[in-house]
Amino acid sequence: MPVLCFQFRRRYGRWSTGGSLTAGADALWEEIGFLAFHLHWPLDDILDLTQDVRARLIMQIQRLTRAEGR
């Protein structure tokens, strides 16, 4: 996310990452829940994965479950 100066929100001198941080956190928790449910991995192991690896695992699980007819 681009860094935006808070002066656009009338908070001079402070910096923000811009965008909504809760949407990113919600998406992360959805990924964690999905992987924990299907793989039975602990939270720490899932959090150690990069976003790219999490997304790849999710896609693969979805393909496998569709192929099995779940």
pLDDT at 13: 53
Q: Are 43 and 55 in contact, with CB atoms under 8 Å apart?
A: no
Return the axis-axis angle of helices 21-39 and 51-67, rounded to nearest 10°: 50
How far apart are the C-alpha atoms of 18 and 9, rounded to whole Å?
A: 11
Separation CA 38–CA 33 (nearest Å): 9
For residue 5, what pLDDT is reported?
41
Q: What is the mean pLDDT of residues 7-21?
A: 51
Retrieve residue 59's tokens: 């896609």
Q: Is the pLDDT of residue 12 over 90?
A: no
Q: Give per-residue pLDDT as tens, 26-62.
A: 999 999 999 999 999 999 999 999 999 999 999 999 9
Residue 54: exposed, middle, or buried by beta-carbon count in 10 A (0-12, 13-18, 19+)? middle
